[in-house]
Amino acid sequence: MHRAYSLPQFLIIGAQKCGTSWLHACLRQHPQVYLPADKDQEIDFRQRSQLAKLQQRLSGRSPEQLPGDACAAWFWTQRGSDPSTGQPRNIVDDIADVLGTDIRLILLVRNPVQRAISGYLHHVRHRSLDPNIGILDASPSLGITDLSRYGLHLHNWLQRFPADSLTVLPAPSEAATDGIFNAVLTFLQLPACDQKLNIDEQVMPGLCNVMQADGLWVRLDEACFQHVRWEPSVPIRELAHQPHVRLISSEEIKALTESLSKDTRWFLKQTCEHGWWHDAFALWTQP
């Protein structure tokens, strides 16, 4: 399918809580790249009327700039239902049908258990999840566990897109940021930038937390109190002279790890098959 130049030539598709905001901020500093300032605007690719909205998002680019867009939720396949058929929607088909299968796709991933934990804390912080609801009991609509099933979602993307249209890289929390950024530039066939880029600044920091033998503890500082409400029954402990609450127990982390282990092995197998393997991924399966 021919794709108009006014549409994206590449997409950052996810995964959520894996550094997509960091990569978006980095690429926006490159003079030969155009990304809209706002990120994570989901487009209903099934509706052709939405293409005007997508094109409008790129209206500020210069002719020499490579246009792209970013939404960390795009990696999450088969979510929700098509109201006209009642069948599960597949974002992969939607994007392929509208933008074609030669578009370049960038995927960042981190340890899937840590990603799920980060997703849980994200929803707690933004009040889309009651902190008294356990990580394993959260609504499936939030995708806390399902978004970490990288093997399934990557397989679904590969059903429509050739492997050479994708690159899979570790999150900046798991590998050197300059190596990740340079790999992205190579994938997009872009030169290194002459100007000094700020690629080490943390974007969207989450709740301060610490892992202990009995689970994950979140620091109860003033900012945290402003965002969430805690029940008195939540365990509280002094760590580094600061009050912390335990939001996730070690038993929950163990159960989460077991539920994701088969899919994680499937994902690692696919990275080997398609040349995306990175040493950072090997740490995921270590005790």
- Does the pLDDT of residue 222 top 70, yes or no? no
Closest CA to 33 of 62, 5, 13: 62
In this model, does residue 6 exceed pLDDT 70?
Answer: yes
To 10 degrees, the CA torsion angle through 174, 178, 182, 185?
90
Residue-wise pLDDT for 80-138, tens only, equals 555 555 566 688 988 998 889 999 999 999 999 999 999 999 998 888 888 888 999 99
202, pLDDT greater than 70: no
User: What is the reported pLDDT for 87?
Assistant: 60
Could you report the per-residue pLDDT of 100-116, keeping only the tens digit for each? 999 999 999 999 999 99
Phi/psi at 167 (nearest 5 deg)?
-130, 140
Q: Which residue type is seen at 239?
A: L
Share of the chain above pLDDT 70, in %: 83
- CA atoms 176, 178, 180, 182: torsion sign: negative
User: What pTM value is reported for the model?
Assistant: 0.89
Say which residue the tokens 């008294």 belong to. 132
Burial of 230 (0-12, 13-18, 19+ CB in 10 A): middle
Q: Write the DSSP string, 68-98.
A: EEE-GGGG--S-SB-TTT-SBP-HHHHHHHH
The per-residue DSSP string of 171-204 comes to: -TTTS-HHHHHHHHHHHTT-PPPSSPP------S
The least confident of 174-178, 183-187, 245-249, 265-269 is: 245-249
Higher pLDDT: 247 or 12? It is: 12
**Domains by residue range for the chain, with CATH:** 10-112+144-204+262-285 (3.40.50.300)
Q: What's the pLDDT score for residue 3?
A: 45
The per-residue pLDDT for range 13-64, each reduced to its tens digit, is 999 999 999 999 999 999 999 999 999 887 777 776 777 788 888 888 998 9
Q: Work out the pLDDT band at 221, boundaries 50, 70, 90.
A: low
